[in-house]
Structure formats: structure tokens, C-alpha cells
Amino acid sequence: MAIPLQLNHQWITIGWALEGAALAWVYRRIPHKGLLCWSFALLAAVFARLAFNPEVFGYEPRGLRIFNWYLYTYMTCAAAMFMAAWWFAKTEDRLIPVLPRTSAVLPAAGVILLFLLLNIEIADFYATGSAIAFRFGVTLAQDLTYTIGWLIFGLLLLTTGIYLHSRPGRVTAVALIAITACKAFLYDMGSLGGLYRVGSLVGLAVSLSLVALALQKFVLQTPQDSE
């Protein structure tokens, strides 16, 4: 209750996230369903507040670019969800038997928050007014930054999914990379010309080739192929 006393700069949201992770740690030692439900409720409220509440961008004035309250708020909350999922993974963490495990849902929520953070930081970097706005077609640099950011995020997510043997993570990464490739071909290329278009095509081709090689070697390879 002490952390939320400071109401500005999203400390209430951060306090809920840290408390949810702390309750997950306690649940490993005291397997009481009330701790599981309260932890999940806090983390779900944090996710809803940061992902579905458009007013969150108006709570505080814009600060420094990149190193601002968006960065530490979203990263701290995402980290709390990853830690809670890690602690829940070794417990019986189903709220209802027919629902997925809490340890399977929280990592997805954390990834979504990190992806939102990426887009928020890009929009904030190119914003000119007192509030950020998510818009395409304003400047070529901003459109290309979104494309490059999405591609890098997809590659990192694919690498993590392969390392952790997470099929949902790999599928999500491939879907994001495919969406990024479509955006680059169908939208960004029309604004480029000359060597910039050639360089973009080469870079995109190399990235997609690396993705194909990674999928073939680490995902699609059968036991017979590895012998």
C-alpha cells in the first residue's frame, strides 16, 4: 500500500505489478488459491490499464525521448509478469481446470506490453506536440522505423521461442515477421526510390532468409535429419 501513495508517473500501476509478482513468489511456498487469484487479478488489472486504456498517455506530460516514464513503467510491468509466470510454472496455477495455466498466459501479456512499448517509444520519438499519436504516412523516417522495429522485435521473439522451445512464441514471431514483410513490400517501398529501395529489398531479403534458415534448422528439422 506504500508504493501507490505516490500517484504520479504510473507508480500505482508499477506497485500493482510488483505486488502481483510478490504474491506469485509467496504462492510457491503457501499454495493457497486466494494468493493465485489475487496475483492474477493484480497483473490482469496492470495489463488492462497499460494495453486498453488510451488515457494512459495523458496521465503524465511527455519527458525525455526514449528514457522516459513509458520505458520504466512498461518494462517493469512486463518483467513482473515474466517473473510471476516463472514462479507459477512450478505450481498448480490453473484458476479454473478448463482454462490455460496462468504461467502460460502471463508471458504472452508481457510480450504484448513490450511490443506496445516499442511502438510507444517510436511514436514518442517522432511526436511534435504535447501528446503522442500513432500515425502512418506522416514521415518516411517514422514509417521505416516502425518496420525496422517490428522486424527486430520479431527476430528476437523467434530466437527466444526457439531457445525456450515455445511453439506459441515461434508462431507469433513468424506472424509478426510476415506482417512486417507485407508492410515493407506493399506500403514502404512505394515511398522509396533508387538505392534506398534496393537497400531495403536486400535487407529484407537477408532477414527473411535468416528466418527461413532458423526455422529449418531449429523448428522443422526431424530427428532423422539431425542424425
Cβ neighbours for 214, distance < 8 A, ≥ 6 positions apart: 158, 159, 162
pLDDT greater at residue 28 or residue 186: 28
Give the pTM: 0.86
Quote the crossing angle between the two packed helices 167-183 and 140-163, to the nearest 10°: 160
pLDDT greater at residue 152 or residue 216: 152
CB distance 176 to 112 below 8 Å: no
Average pLDDT over residues 212-227: 63
CB distance 77 to 13 below 8 Å: yes
SS3 32: coil
pLDDT computed for residue 7 by the predictor: 60
pLDDT computed for residue 227 by the predictor: 44
pLDDT computed for residue 226 by the predictor: 43
**Distance (Å, rounded) from C-alpha 171 to C-alpha 64?**
35
Domain boundaries, the chain: 1-106, 135-227
Is the pLDDT at 6 greater than 90? The verdict is no
Burial of 164 (0-12, 13-18, 19+ CB in 10 A): exposed
Confidence category of residue 49, pLDDT binned at 50, 70, 90? very high
- Return the residue matching grid coordinates 506522416: 138
- Return the residue matching grid coordinates 500517484: 7
Query: Average per-residue pLDDT in the chain?
Result: 85
% of the chain exceeding 70 in pLDDT: 89
pLDDT computed for residue 220 by the predictor: 65
pLDDT greater at residue 210 or residue 93: 93
Confidence category of residue 19, pLDDT binned at 50, 70, 90? very high
- Return the residue matching grid coordinates 490499464: 49
pLDDT computed for residue 191 by the predictor: 73
CB distance 20 to 84 below 8 Å: yes
CB distance 81 to 17 below 8 Å: yes
Residue 170's nearest CA partner among 105, 135, 123, 214 is 214
Alpha helices per DSSP H over 62-139? 69-88, 102-126
**Distance (Å, rounded) from C-alpha 145 to C-alpha 151?**
10
pLDDT greater at residue 74 or residue 4: 74
Amino acid symbol at 29: R
Helix, strand, coil shares of the chain as percentages rounded to 5?
Answer: 75, 0, 25
pLDDT greater at residue 138 or residue 37: 37
